[in-house]
Structures are given as C-alpha cells and as structure tokens.
A and B are shown apart, each in its own frame.
Chain A
Amino acid sequence: MIESINVTKKFGDLTALNDLSLKINKNEIFGIVGPNGAGKTTFIRIVCGILSPTSGTVYIDGNDIQKDAVDLKRRIGYLPEEPNLYMRPTAYELVKYFADLYGVPKDLFKERAEGLFRLVGLYDRRKSKVESFSKGMRQKLAFVRALIHDPDILIFDEPTMGLDPATSKNIRDFILEYSKDKTVVVCTHYMEEADYLCDKIGVLNNGRLVTSGTPGELKTLIKKENIFEIEVENPEKVIENLKDIKIIKSKGNKIIVSCTYKELGELLESSEGIIGIHSKIPTLEDVFIELTK
C-alpha cells in the first residue's frame, strides 16, 4: 500500500503539492488526473523517491520512501513522461545496463528481457540502436527498461502521451495485461484512459486532492443532477435564459447542461429555437471539467 500523508512540495516560491494525503491500495490501478501544473508528476516523483517532499511523508508498505529509499526503489518500476533514453546503445544494451544497475542476475535477465521485448513487440529490433526508433517504439522500450527488474509497484507518467490511437491502445492493453497482482499508479491527461485502466482515480488540482474514488463513484458526483445535450438555433439567446442552470460544455449549436427536469421544463417554456434535447450519461471528462473548474 502507498500512503501519502500531508505531503507538501515547494519549488522556490511555487507550491507544487499542498498537504496532499491519499491512499493507494495493494494490487490496485490508481489513476491520477488533473490539469497541467496540478502536481501529478511531482507527486509520482516523490513516490518514486526522485524528489524529497518539503514536508509530509510517503509510506510504501509502512516504510518511509525517504528513509528506506534504496530498498524501496528496487520495488519500483518508473516510466517517465518522456522515455528519456540513451540514444547511442542498442535497445538490448540499454536494458542490460539498467538490469545490471538493479542487480538482475544474468540468467534471469536473458529470459526476462526476451519476454518483455516480445510482449511489447520489439523483439526483432532489440539489436537496433535506440536512435533509430520511432516515438512509439521508444515508449515501448522505456516500458521494458522500467519492468526489467520485475518491480511490484509500477508508476507510469502519461504512458500514451503523443502516441497514435493504435499504439496507445496497444500500450493500455499491455498495462492491463502486465499489472495483474501489481500496484500501479497511472498519471494521465486522458480521461477515457483513466476510465479504461483504473480501479480508482484521484483528481488533483492546484497541488491539492480534489476528490478520489472509483470511476463510477466519480461519475455519480455529477449524476445527482441530469445531464442534457440541447441542440439550439441561437445558442447565445438560450444561454441568456439558462439562469441557474449549470453549463458543462458549449460548442457550436450544442449546449451540455446539468439540471433537474423542472428546470429543463422552465427552459423549454422560456426559450425559442430549441431543436432537440437528449439525455446524456456523464463521462469522466465531464467530472474532470466540473471538478477542476
């Protein structure tokens, strides 16, 4: 279990994390979502022992990451936002170097490296230089590097950032496949990714934890009210009549609102030019937008 207790991190005058407390259970895939600058990467860097908190503590199975960093880091596999790979060696040499640094025995390394290279689809290119790899291939190689020492805690920072949809799906499936019986922390911008992968999600904003729960629980936060998509001829006129009705999104001649049936009835009476109304199931993106406004 990973437990963050009142963690604050300051960079000069900037407070990146502000008194953040949350729990990540064992064998759980925990998603951290939030807008840019919310403190997601800072948080996972602290969990990995890369950064030290200004105050507060992160415990992994009851051990302080700052005090027992060397032992705990052996259990962590970290994939940063950018693959950050050395370009000159071959994929195999690079993975071998990190396996050596993590003390992976030679016989185990060969077997594990081959398995991982096959799993990510880089087996045939393992002897090619890293500089010849595409962005997607580098990301896959970064996975192999992060997993070569068989860690039981996996921390992924934006694992599909900048990848095409097919490669992204490939990576997501790989995470699901590989993370059985492991504790996984995924930091992402993509709500559908968090929805697809995570057992639980924490929403960060301005360095604080806004809320956390399962994707279903988070969706109910805004499902207490009904979500409607209203198609209109003149959106500006309709928006004027919305009064207390909450606008979730407005694009073109479509307005997504959250309101009761009574409020919707009043809106229909007072507004002209409404072409159609559809009931809408909230997505995690709606929750995200609502919570991080």
Chain B
Amino acid sequence: MMKKIIKWELKRIFSSKKFTAAFILQFFLIILIIPMFTVYLETLQSGKFFSTTPGMNEFIPIGMNRKCKLSEIIEEYDQFSLTILEKNDGMKMLQKGNIVAYILVDDDFDQKMLKLENITLLIYYNNSDKSYVAKSYLDSIVNGFSDGLRRARIREYDIPSVLIEKKDRKDFVAETEKPKTVEEKKETVPKETTPIEKEMVDIKRLKFSLNREYILLLVMLLPLFMSGGLLTDSIVSEKEKKTGEMLLVLPTKRRNIILGKMLAIFLITVVQIILWIFILYGVGKISNIYTIFPLILAAFLVINLSLLISVYSQNYKESALLVTVIYILVFAFMFGTSILYISELKTLSLLSPLSMVIGLEEGSLTTLDTIYGVLPALSFSFISLALSVYLFSKDSFYFGPRPKLLDLIPDIFSKIGKGNFASFFLGCLSVFGAIILEIAAGVLMYFFLNLDVGFVIFLLSIVFIEEYLKYLAMLPNKSKFSGVFVGFGFGFFENLLSGFVLFTMFFPVEMILFRIIPLLIHMSSSGILGYFRYKKKTKLGFIIAFIIHLVYNTIILVSI
C-alpha cells in the first residue's frame, strides 16, 4: 500500500506545473549562484571589500620565535596558521604583511610556566585589519592558558576552584602590544617571494577554496525549501479539500499514508540533491562527492519537521506561518552551528549536519565526528516522525477540534508510562528540551537585551524552563512522589551530560561530588511541586520549586 501511495504522490507531483516551474527555477538559480558566489569571494579575497570577519575568509598568519606549550595551543586553533620564525625574519614578515602578529617568548617559557612563575609574553602586531582579529583571538588564548594553569593547580592541591580563583590572578602576565615597533609601509616591501612566503600563500588559497565550496554547498539547501513546501501542500491540502477522508477509509494503517507521502517527497529531494551535487562535482566546484550524505541527512530532518508541521496545522495559512518560522530557526541553527566547525568548537558544531559537509571538504572528518554529526539530526528526525505518526493517528487532527499543545504533552508522555520509572525516564528526556530552550533563551537575551538585564532574565528563564519541563514530565504519574522521580531523572541525566563535558577537567570523584548537590536540588524542587500537585495546589508548589531552584542557581553563579 505504501509503495502505491509513494508512486501516486510522485506522479501527482511530476504532473504538477507548479513543481516543474519550481524545479526549473531552482536549476537556473543554482547555475546563476555559482558564478555569483565565485565573483563575490574573489572580490573578498582581493581585499576590495572591508571584511569584518577576516578569519572566515582565510587563515590568520602569525609567527612565533620558538615552539613551546603556547605554540601547541595556538596550533589547535583553526583560525591561525603559525610559522616558527627567527626574530629578524619574523619582524620582516610582519612588516611585509605576510604575518599579522609575531609572538616572542623566552627560552625558559615552559619551565617558568610549570613552576607557576611570572612569564612575559611579547606580541607584535602590524596595522592590517586582520591584526585586530588576531589580537582578539590571541587574548582569548592567553586568558584560556591562564585558566589551564589554574586548573593544574586545582588538581595538584585538590581544592575547589571557587576558592583559588581570586588568589591566582597574577600567576600569568601577558603583555599584548599594538603595534610596538613595526609600521606597515607597502612601498618598502621587497617583491621577491621566499619559500616560507609561498607556503603561506598556499595556505591562504586553501582556506579561500574551502569557504567557496562551503557556500556553494549551502546553496544546495534550496531543494530542502521546496521539499517542505511540497510536503505541506500534499498533507494540508488533503485536509482542506477533504480528499484525505478517502485515504483514511483505505485498508491500511494510517501511518502508511503519511509515511508514503513523506517518503515520496524525500525521494524527490534526494534525487535533486544528487543531481545538483553531481553537476557541481562535474564542473569541479566540489571536491568530495560524499557531501551528498550530510545534505541528505539535513533534508531528512527538514522534511520530518515539515511533516510534523503539516500534520499539526489545520490549514494552509497556519502551516505557511509555522513552516516559515521553523525554517528560519532551523536554517539559522544549521548555518550558524556549522560555522563553529572552523573554530575551536568543532564538536559542538556537529549538532548541525552541515558541519560534516565542511569536514568532508577539508578531509578532517573522523569516524567519531561522523557519529556526533549523524546522531542529533537523525534523533530529531525520528522524534518528529514519531510525533507526526502519533498526531495523525488521532481523529482530532483531521476532523477537529484540535487539542491544545499543552494538553497534548501529557497525552504523549503517558504513552511512555504512568509509573515512577516512566517519570524517571521522562525526567531524563526533559533535559533535551531544557537544553534546546535554554540555548534559544540565551541567544535571544544576548541579542536583544543588555548584558546585566539579559543575564538576570536568562537566569530566571533557565529556572522556569527546567521547572516547567519537569512539571510536564510528572503529569502522567498521579502519585505524590512523581516529582521526586522526575527530578531524579532530570538531575541524573543532566549530570551524565555534564560529566561528559567535564570529564577532561575534573577527576571522576570530584565530578561525582560536584554534581550531587544539583541532583538533590532537582529532586527536592520537583518533589515539592509533585507533592503540591497531588494536594491540588500546583501553583503554590511551582512557586516554591521555582524559588528553591533560583536560590541555588544564584548561589552557584555568584560563587563562580
């Protein structure tokens, strides 16, 4: 049955004039965008435009007088191309503009650092635009290096970081100077190119090339926009025109109907992606044909989100609005996060499948990166798919009246179970929701409010989000201890994730101690809320839980 539905949908789409027009338009758009971006990037590279993000166009070339612990750290930063140069050569290169900063460290830099003695670091910059960016990055590295030393001290003496922080401010002194001795004078720059300079130019070209291909691949996301539209059209129009009623009477399970529709659109999108990538590969604009796979993964995610929107929406107007909002958020997230791939936050960037595109083009994608890259997108896709199937199985989503979103959540949660173990599990799941909402809240505060006000609101919103999600998680369980189990699940899973991140920073024993208090706080706050809910005084319970959580978070933040 599903195959027949897929076949029919494909036939229906291909016979549609709208689709043909969109397909042709898309083809020409891609063909036009390729030279357009090439010209744009070449202009950027030539320096005719002022770029606010030089690090995004090419590596920032810097020099250093010797290899040491600091050079190792700098080399981990993908923004820099570090060259070890004698002082005289370094100064000349800085003057010529071949490098934008030159770092001078003492011969006993490493020994001094290990003994926690004061170290003097001299950094010379030239007058180029990129030197400002280099200074910003180098400052953050120097500060981070100082933090690293502090962490070493914490391990050595086994004392809490909160206590040591104020004492250790002077254990590392960095002098960053702008420009100290060097003036940029282009007319005095000799024309000959030394082997080192040639190597730097090659690195610069490589970076340029990566960015060009990355932007081209982003263009390939165009089919995803169209696929979402097609799917919405296929599902919402059946609701509006009531043709879907004849599908519901078919001798098949309901899920087969929407799976058939979804797979038909997915198939079209995959074919489009393959077609475009092969064309780009053929004309030499893409170096790795496997970039098809992360794009297909992104397509699968977008299509499943569109499916969920389509099933949820009552009409075109609503679906169009939801699709627009969700697409903006999803694409901003995917683009924004993938850019982190070329920064030091590579693992975080793999939340976006597009990061794998860059990884493949750079040739730096490891198996672990692939797992990190595939899992989030695939998980969210399948969660959306499962929710869509669940909603479509409910009469109210076709014949109305559609239940309110908040009424649906306990209904969906109760499918997992109504006992204490289910509450524990739902508590664990709530952590995912909290992460997403807290990141979103953080971004909104960052962009729309000043730091102080934004921070206070962010603090309040974190507490509200976590307590509210835990409240939703406890709804299917009617017992008075529901909140304790939800809080336990939430705290446990939060610890598990935090432990993952903190593992490299603390010893396991410290980690366990460090995380036991938040676990107890989550259990207490939710436990109280759960008990008050049982006593039919939910609002009062929520206020108490909120205050407990807020007080704890405030103490922690003030301490840090």
A residues bordering B, Cβ < 8 Å? Answer: 11-12, 14, 45, 48-52, 69-74, 76, 78, 80, 82, 84-86, 88-89, 97-98, 100-102, 145
| Chain B residues with CB under 8 A of A98 | 246
User: Given that A11-B399, A12-B396 are known contacts, is A73 also in contact with B249, CB under 8 Å in the complex?
Assistant: yes
Q: Which of B137-145, B250-258, B313-321 contacts A (4 or more CB under 8 A)?
A: B250-258
Of the candidates A11, A51, A74, A88, the one whose C-beta lies within 8 Å of that of B251 is: A74
**Residues A51 and B399 in contact, CB atoms below 8 Å apart:** yes
The answer for the CA separation of A170 and B400 in the assembled complex, in Å, is 35
Question: What mask results when residues 222 to 261 of chain B are scored 1 for a CB within 8 Å of chain A, else 0?
Answer: 0000000000000000000111011011111100000000
Given A12-B403, A51-B399, A101 and B242 contact (CB-CB distance below 8 Å):
no
Q: Smallest CB–CB gap between A27 and chain B, Å?
A: 22
Q: Considering only CB atoms, which chain A residue lies closest to B237 in the complex?
A: A86
Q: Report B's interface with A, CB cutoff 8 A.
A: 1, 4-5, 8, 12, 15-16, 241-243, 245-246, 248-253, 395-396, 399-401, 403
Contact yes or no, B4 A101, CB < 8 A:
yes
Chain B residue, CB-CB nearest to A100: B4
**Chain A residue nearest to B16 in the complex (CB):** A88
**Are A52 and B395 within 8 A (Cβ)?**
yes
Inter-subunit contact B15/A88 (CB<8 Å)? yes
Q: Please name all residues of chain A whose beta carbon is closer than 8 Å to the beta carbon of B251 when the two chains form the complex.
A: 69-74, 102
B249 near A78 (CB under 8 angstroms)?
Answer: yes
In the complex, how many angstroms separate the beta carbon of A158 from the nearest chain B beta carbon? 14
Contacting pair B401 A11 (CB below 8 A): yes
Measured CB to CB, the closest approach of chain A to B341, in angstroms, equals: 44
- In Å, the complex CA distance between A145 and B5 comes to 16
A86, B249: Cβ atoms closer than 8 Å: no
- Chain B residues whose C-beta falls within 8 Å of the C-beta of A85 in the assembled complex: 243
Give Cα A21–Cα B396 distance, bound, in whole angstroms: 23
Known contacts A69-B253, A100-B8; 19 additional CB pairs below 8 A are A11-B401, A12-B401, A45-B399, A48-B249, A49-B249, A51-B395, A51-B399, A52-B395, A73-B249, A73-B250, A73-B252, A80-B246, A84-B242, A88-B16, A97-B4, A101-B1, A101-B250, A101-B252, A145-B246
Q: Which residues of B contact A45 (CB under 8 A)?
A: 399
Contact B15 A102 (CB under 8 A): no
Quick one: closest A residue to B404, CB to CB?
A: A12
Choice from B1, B245, B400 contacting A80 with Cβ under 8 Å: B245
A86:B243 contact, CB within 8 angstroms: yes
Specify the chain A residue showing the minimal Cβ separation from B248.
Answer: A50
Question: Least Cβ distance of B497 to chain A in Å?
Answer: 39
B249 touches A50 (CB 8 A): yes
- What would 26 A/B residue contacts be, using CB atoms closer than 8 Å? A11-B395, A11-B400, A11-B401, A45-B399, A49-B249, A50-B245, A50-B248, A50-B249, A52-B395, A70-B251, A71-B251, A73-B251, A74-B251, A78-B249, A82-B242, A84-B241, A84-B246, A89-B12, A89-B15, A97-B8, A100-B8, A101-B1, A101-B5, A101-B250, A102-B250, A102-B251
Give the chain B neighbours of A74 by CB distance below 8 A.
251
Say yes or no: A88-B249 contact (C-beta < 8 A), given A52-B395, A80-B242: no
C-alpha gap A10/B156 in the complex (Å): 68
Closest residue of chain A to B393 (Cβ to Cβ) is A52
Chain B residue numbers with a CB within 8 Å of A78 are: 246, 249
User: Whole-angstrom distance from the CB of A110 to the nearest CB of chain B?
Assistant: 18
**Contact in complex: A70, B401 (CB < 8 Å):** no
Question: Which residues of chain A are near B242, meaning CB under 8 Å?
Answer: 80, 82, 84
In the complex, A76 Cα to B8 Cα: how many Å? 22
Q: Which residues of A contact B249 (CB under 8 A)?
A: 48-50, 73, 76, 78
Q: How far is it, in angstroms, between the C-alpha of A74 and the C-alpha of B250 when the chains are bound?
A: 7
Chain B residues with Cβ below 8 Å from A70 are 251-253
Closest 7 CB pairs of A and B: A73-B251, A74-B251, A12-B401, A50-B248, A78-B249, A84-B242, A84-B243
Give the CA-CA distance A69 to B253 in the complex, in Å: 8
CB-nearest residue of chain A relative to B5? Answer: A101
In the complex the two chains form, is A11's CB within 8 Å of B245's CB? no
| Residues on the A chain within 8 Å of B245, using CB | 50, 80, 84
Provide the bound-state CA to CA distance between A100 and B4, in Å.
Answer: 7
Cβ of A17 to closest chain B Cβ, rounded Å: 12
Q: Bound state CA distance, A48 and B248, in angstroms?
A: 9
User: How far apart are the CA atoms of A48 and B8 in the complex, in Å?
Assistant: 23
Question: Which chain B positions have C-beta within 8 A of A73?
Answer: 249-252
Contacts of A71 in B (CB 8 A): 251
Contact of A11 among B4, B12, B396 (CB under 8 A): B396
CB-CB under 8 A from A88, the residues of chain B are 12, 15-16
| C-alpha gap A100/B5 in the complex (Å) | 9
Q: Which residues of A contact B4 (CB under 8 A)?
A: 97, 100-101
Chain A nearest Cβ from B529, distance in angstroms: 28
Output the nearest chain B residue to A13 by Cβ-Cβ distance: B401
B residues near A82, Cβ cutoff 8 Å: 242
Least distance between B320 CB and chain A CB atoms (Å): 21
* Chain B, residue nearest A86 (CB): B243
Closest B residue to A74 using CB positions: B251
* Chain B residues within 8 Å of A100, by CB: 4, 8
Q: What's the minimum C-beta distance from B314 to chain A, rounded to whole angstroms?
A: 14
Return chain B residues, CB-CB under 8 Å to A102.
Answer: 250-251
Instruction: Compute how far the CA of A97 lies from the CA of B8 in the bound complex, rounded to whole angstroms.
Output: 7
Distance between B240 CB and nearest chain A CB, rounded to angstroms:
11
Distance in Å from the Cβ of A183 to the closest Cβ of chain B?
16
| Shortest distance from the beta carbon of B391 to any chain A beta carbon, whole Å | 14
Give every chain A residue within 8 A of B243 (Cβ-Cβ).
84-86
Interface-centre pick from A48, A76, A84, A102 (highest chain B CB count, 10 A): A84
Most A CB contacts (10 A, CB to CB) among B12, B245, B246 go to B246
Q: Which residue of B241, B250, B396 has the most chain A CB atoms within 10 A of its CB atom?
A: B250
* Smallest CB separation, B471 vs chain A (Å): 24
Chain A contacts for B401, CB-based, 8 A: 11-12, 14
A23 to B253, CA, bound (A): 27
- Shortest Cβ gap from B216 to chain A (Å): 36
The docked-state distance in angstroms from the alpha carbon of A82 to that of B248 is: 15
With a CB–CB cut-off of 8 A, which chain B residues contact A52? 395
Chain A: which residue is nearest B242 at the CB level?
A84
